[in-house]
Amino acid sequence: MPEQPLTLDAVLTDEAVLSTYRRMFAALARDSGAVVDDPVLVDIAETLFAAFAEAGEEWLTHEQMRFACRAYPADQFDNRLRVLKGLGAIREVFPKPNQLRYRASFTSVVGLMFVRRMMDDGGQSEMHRLLALEDLNVADPRTTMEEAGQSAVNLTRAFRLWALELVTLTMGTIEELREQAPKLWGTEEIARRAQGLHGTILTRWPELDRVCTDLRAAIYAYSDASRRAAGRLADSAGTTRNLTLLPTETWRTFAQTASRERLAAVLDGFVFD
């Protein structure tokens, strides 16, 4: 295909997309092109966003932002503020010279909330939210067949990738499976809701039978992979089914590599009679 000439509208659209991404993940950026490697830097961003929310229409000056983050070293605060301003997460209230007050980007706050939820359960809550929105969408009389088809395609892709990740975890080390255990929470409920959504689409638009077949296969693959991963996780816990117990090889490695202080710390909080 011959390349189409680049138009001003196309440039503006691309820039709008990139700008949204920059603001969404500004809190996680160490600089304009890299992710943070220190969780404290994310905490500073959250502290700043909370301060902006409390300030309301008064907004914040540089001194007020520094006061809100007074618990953190000045160099870390200056680095965070520079990055957040550079990526558009924090901006001047009005674009004019000698601007003294700043505001926080709503997109950045929502992006950080999304990341925190992903850290908590590996994406489970996001899938529940997505399925709830899609339920409402396909039930809306204004929804077209093309929109419903695109929803089914997107969900098919998500379930396929999720199933592949669970299969990989099942065949990997038990330590990695334990670390990713939140991905196995509520899988039956997610599959049930997805199957209900599939049924709604197929009932309203029988012409989408091929797309719905792909979605149904992806849901079944996800359900099967999640059951296999959960089974291996339960087996590794022993007869007590205590998933907090570590496998023998982990304790052996710890005992061989830990310092005396770390070994002694294992017994902190225990009293022996």
Position 239 pLDDT exceeds 50: no
The predicted pLDDT at position 241 comes to 47
32: CB partners within 8 A, 6+ apart: 83, 86, 87
Give CA–CA dist 136/120, Å, rounded: 26
Packing angle, helices 106-121 and 8-24, rounded to 10 = 50
Position 206 pLDDT exceeds 90: yes
Domain segments of the chain: what residues? Answer: 8-108, 122-242
Least confident of 127-136, 182-191, 263-272: 263-272
| Arithmetic mean of pLDDT over the chain | 82
Query: pLDDT confidence of 248, banded at 50, 70, 90?
Result: low
85: CB partners within 8 A, 6+ apart: 91, 102
Position 1 pLDDT exceeds 60: no
If you classify domain 8-108 with CATH, what class do you get?
mainly alpha
Least confident of 28-37, 58-67, 195-204: 28-37
Query: pLDDT confidence of 237, banded at 50, 70, 90?
Result: low
Rounded mean pLDDT, 240-260: 66
Give percent helix, percent strand, percent coil of the chain, each to the nearest 5. 70, 5, 25
Percent of the chain with pLDDT over 70: 86
The predicted pLDDT at position 127 comes to 84
